[in-house]
């Protein structure tokens, strides 16, 4: 009996010491986290938002991609071409070093906008090709590479890339090829790969065009049930910032003239409300709780153009009703500016890449810009009850809205901007504007429209060989002609052989200070109306 009592005492003492050790370790970890928490970032749940102190190794310069990779490491890519691993040099749970893995620039490649891995091999989608890299001697650096797939048209346009790479259970590689609709130097595309989603055979020798009518798909991810989802940007037939579910053979709305769809456009399964410009997407594992979000889709947002404080993360819960209908609900996760991608790590934390400051084409203008965040689930934090996030939550009087709507129709806004789905006009649609931009941002865009121009909305000046000058926006292009939308929303076809010169315009096609002659009261009514468009 005495021996049994001593064993129980020793066992209890061991468990106490073990719990004390775990508690001390957790407290030490929390102290480490507190050093790197970013107070400017806003979380909408029990998450600590840490700004990773990457101070060693590769210089961080506009990271465009982040993904889990071989060995359980998180990999990232600079816009300039460097591919690197995020390393924890002092084993404190916080990555502080970027170890170079390879550089696609060494192979003459550009725009590393896609990342996927199979076993120990990494596949990088670029402007020119998908290239495979492998680290044979296991020293952390790729020592062998080869072209995996290159049967795509390419030009020097900075928006051309292969992105959204992911492997399916069939061992095939799925990827999205950016549209060529706005490219004045578009290359011949006999297979219609640009503006389409491709399924590439495991050996890279064959490709199948699965769906068409996409614009700029930066992120694709497989749902645990096997469905492939992808996010696309508003513009050129896409009415909203949207989430789509892949249905083979379907057309998704962009560049109808090129693909000439024979049936109706496949509608998005969700129109994002939280932010603009969805970039990377990834499904959380069904085994990773992460604050009750197992199996949910996480979405990174870049935010509107050069508005450097905009961007964030949302999650989407996808469920199926008994009828079989898919139901989707969007929730905010965090406000973090200029996110280009996100990925879950092996520890269950969510990593996000912030692109930082860049030029109009997203090219580097600083020696170092951007960085990485790590969202750590902490059940001790009080869960915020806010379930919806909107840039604008104001309410307006009916008289102000009526007056504002009348002003919208009489100040030339009506001529170039639609507020509902329908014919594409010269300027971006204003539907949902109140969810996308603050009152200050709307006013700034009206008074100084050239300060920030949405990509693909820039003007082009074309001089013909007969001396005629045309000014408008390219809405379609191929190797033979341009479709140019002129002021007044009239589209003309311009044959390339008739062109003497063309020049991209640095100024918006919209007049500056369009409402400066209105009284202050009238300006406020117009802004009320524009803010109410949700």
Cα distances (angstroms) measured from residue 521 to each of 208, 331, 434: 57, 36, 19
What is the mean predicted confidence (pLDDT) over 382-392? Answer: 53
CA atoms of 8 and 26, how far apart (whole Å): 27
Spell out where 223-324 has E strands. 228-232, 242-245, 270-271, 278-283, 297-301, 312-320
Residue 118, pLDDT above cutoff 60: yes
Tell me the pLDDT band of 385, cut-offs 50, 70 and 90: very low
Comparison of pLDDT for 6 and 73, the residue scoring more = 73
Full DSSP string of 365-415: -SSSB-EEEEEEE-TTSPPP------S------HHHHHHHHHHHHHSSHHH
Residue 2: per-residue pLDDT: 57
Burial (CB count <10 Å: 0-12, 13-18, 19+), residue 19: exposed
**Count of C-beta atoms within a 10 Å radius of residue 134:** 16
% helix, strand, coil for the chain, step of 5: 15, 35, 50
CB contact at 8 A, 500 and 464: yes
Return d(Cα 199, Cα 517) in angstroms, integer. Answer: 55
- Report which of residues 370 and 479 the model is more confident about: 370
Residue in the block written with tokens 């001390």:
24
Confidence of residue 20 (pLDDT cuts 50, 70, 90): very low
DSSP state of 105: G
Rounded Cα distance, 165 and 130, in Å: 9
How many Cα atoms sit within 13 Å of 497 on the Cβ side?
Answer: 1
Instruction: Enter the tokens of residue 238.
Output: 């896409």
Positive or negative torsion for Cα 358, 364, 367, 369: positive
**CA–CA dist 445, 449 (Å, integer):** 5
The pLDDT value given to residue 390: 54
| For range 314-336, the mean pLDDT | 92
* Joined tokens for residue 43: 């979380």
pTM of the model: 0.86
β-bridge mates for residue 484, sequence order: 474, 492
Is the separation of the CB atoms in 489 and 416 below 8 Å?
A: yes
Q: How, if at all, do strands 97-103 and 56-57 pair? A: parallel
Q: Measured over all CA atoms, what is the biggest interatomic distance in the chain, rounded to whole angstroms?
A: 110
Q: Is 351 helix (H, G, I), strand (E, B) or coil?
A: strand
Q: What's the pLDDT at 386?
A: 45
pLDDT for position 382: 67
């Amino acid at each position: 009996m005495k021996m049994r009592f001593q064993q129980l005492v020793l066992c209890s003492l061991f468990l106490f010491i073990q719990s004390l050790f775990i508690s001390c370790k957790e407290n030490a970890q929390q102290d480490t986290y507190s050093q790197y928490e970013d107070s400017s970032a806003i979380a909408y749940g029990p998450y600590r938002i840490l700004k990773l102190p990457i101070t060693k190794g590769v210089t961080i310069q506009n990271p465009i991609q982040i993904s889990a990779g071989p060995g359980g490491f998180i990999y990232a890519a600079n816009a300039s071409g460097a591919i690197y691993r995020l390393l924890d040099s002092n084993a404190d749970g916080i990555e502080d070093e970027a170890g170079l893995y390879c550089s696609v620039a060494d192979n003459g490649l550009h725009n590393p906008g896609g990342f996927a891995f199979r076993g120990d091999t990494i596949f990088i989608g670029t402007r020119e090709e998908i290239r495979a890299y492998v680290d044979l001697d296991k020293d952390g650096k790729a020592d062998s590479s080869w072209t995996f797939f290159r049967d795509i048209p390419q030009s020097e346009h900075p928006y051309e890339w292969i992105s959204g790479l992911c492997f399916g259970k069939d061992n095939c590689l799925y990827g999205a090829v950016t549209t060529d609709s706005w490219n004045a130097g578009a290359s011949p595309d006999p297979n219609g790969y640009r503006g389409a989603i491709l399924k590439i055979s495991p050996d890279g020798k064959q490709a199948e065009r699965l769906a068409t009518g996409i614009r700029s798909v930066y992120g694709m991810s497989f749902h645990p049930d096997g469905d492939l989802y992808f996010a696309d940007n508003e513009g050129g037939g896409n009415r909203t910032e949207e989430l789509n579910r892949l249905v083979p053979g379907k057309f998704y709305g962009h560049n109808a003239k090129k693909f000439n769809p024979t049936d109706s456009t496949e509608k998005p399964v969700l129109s994002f409300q939280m932010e603009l410009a969805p970039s990377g997407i990834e499904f959380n594992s069904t085994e990773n709780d992460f604050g009750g979000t197992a199996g949910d889709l996480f979405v990174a947002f870049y935010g509107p153009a050069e508005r450097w404080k905009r961007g964030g993360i949302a999650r989407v819960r996808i469920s199926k009703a008994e009828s079989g209908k898919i139901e989707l609900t969007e929730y905010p996760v965090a406000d973090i500016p200029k996110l280009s991608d996100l990925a879950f790590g092996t520890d269950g934390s969510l990593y996000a890449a912030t692109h930082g400051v860049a030029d109009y084409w997203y090219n580097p203008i600083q020696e170092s810009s951007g960085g990485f965040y790590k969202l750590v689930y902490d059940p001790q934090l009080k869960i915020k009850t806010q379930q919806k996030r909107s840039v604008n939550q104001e309410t307006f009087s009916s008289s102000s809205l009526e007056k504002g709507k009348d002003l919208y129709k009489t100040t030339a806004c009506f001529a170039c901007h639609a507020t509902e789905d329908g014919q594409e006009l010269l300027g971006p649609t204003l539907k949902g504007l109140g969810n996308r931009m603050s009152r200050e941002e709307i006013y700034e865009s009206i008074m100084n429209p050239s300060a920030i121009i949405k990509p693909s909305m820039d003007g082009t000046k074309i001089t013909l060989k007969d001396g005629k000058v045309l000014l408008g926006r390219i809405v379609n292009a191929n190797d033979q002609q341009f479709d140019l939308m002129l002021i007044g929303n009239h589209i003309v076809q311009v044959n390339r052989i008739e062109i003497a010169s063309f020049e991209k315009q640095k100024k918006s096609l919209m007049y500056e200070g369009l409402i400066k002659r209105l009284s202050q009261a009238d300006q406020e009514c117009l802004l009320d109306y524009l803010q109410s468009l949700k």
